[in-house]
């Protein structure tokens, strides 16, 4: 019982650790990781995508009943193709990481995986929210006053 309680608190402390980035902090972090212009994609596209996918919350998870997969983290990266959560049928893990790595406050691994997705044939079209809210839009507001 005691062990379970301690385990419970450990899990709780992991889950409540999630960080919500501000728009500009996120933009600056992306820039420091070489995302501005990566594969011809501007920072504003990534900021728009993350705002509509997760609200810049590193702890965001969303289950997709149809594919029995889950979207993880600030970029809402899917466990069917990109990461391993040990419970998604037919998963591929193309980024070669546990999905939990996508929930860290430090988004370095999430960025590396997002780049990998951007390099795939789908590109940003892999993200439903990008297609719905960002594709072919004027995105200048997303990086406004960020100094990037
Ligand atoms: C995009 O919107 C901003 C203001 O929101 C405006 O200043 C700018 O000219 C627009 N760019 C284009 C290409 O329409």
Mean pLDDT of 80-94: 97
pTM: predicted TM-score of the whole model, two decimal places: 0.88
Catalytic residues: 53, 71
Nearest CA to ligand 1 atom 11: 138
Q: How confident is the model at residue 12 (pLDDT cuts 50, 70, 90)?
A: low
Q: How confident is the model at residue 17 (pLDDT cuts 50, 70, 90)?
A: confident
Mean pLDDT of 74-86: 98
Identify whether the C-beta of residue 54 lies closer than 8 Å to the C-beta of residue 73: yes
Mean pLDDT of 118-140: 97
Looking at residue 80, its pLDDT comes to 97
pLDDT digits (tens, 9 = 90+) for 18-37: 999 999 999 999 999 999 99
Rounded to an integer, what distance in angstroms lies between the CA atom of residue 77 and that of residue 115?
Answer: 11
Identify whether the C-beta of residue 4 lies closer than 8 Å to the C-beta of residue 12: no
| Cα torsion angle, 135, 116, 15, 106, sign | negative
Mean pLDDT of 110-127: 96
Share of the chain above pLDDT 70, in %: 89
> CB neighbours of 32 closer than 8 A, spacing ≥ 6?
none
Mean pLDDT of 55-79: 98
Please state, rounded to an integer, the average pLDDT across all residues of the chain: 92
Looking at residue 2, its pLDDT comes to 56
Nearest CA to ligand 1 atom 13: 138
Would you say residue 6 has pLDDT above 60? no
Residues touching ligand 1 (Cβ under 6 Å) are: 138, 140-141
Please tell me the distance between residue 132's alpha carbon and the centre of ligand 1 in angstroms.
19
């Amino acid at each position: 019982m005691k062990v379970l309680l301690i385990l419970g608190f450990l899990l709780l402390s992991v889950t409540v650790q999630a960080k919500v980035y501000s728009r500009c902090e996120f933009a600056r972090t992306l820039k420091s990781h070489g995302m501005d212009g990566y594969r011809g994609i501007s920072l504003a596209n990534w900021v728009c995508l993350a705002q509509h996918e997760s609200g810049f919350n590193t702890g965001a998870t969303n289950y997709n009943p149809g594919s029995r997969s889950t979207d993880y983290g600030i970029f809402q990266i899917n466990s069917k193709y990109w990461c391993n959560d040990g419970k998604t049928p037919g998963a591929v893990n193309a980024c070669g990481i546990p999905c939990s790595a996508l929930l860290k406050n430090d988004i370095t691994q999430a960025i590396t995986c997002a780049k990998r997705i951007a390099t795939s044939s789908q590109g940003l079209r892999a993200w439903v929210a990008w297609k719905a809210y960002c594709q072919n839009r004027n995105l200048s507001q997303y990086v406004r006053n960020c100094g990037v």
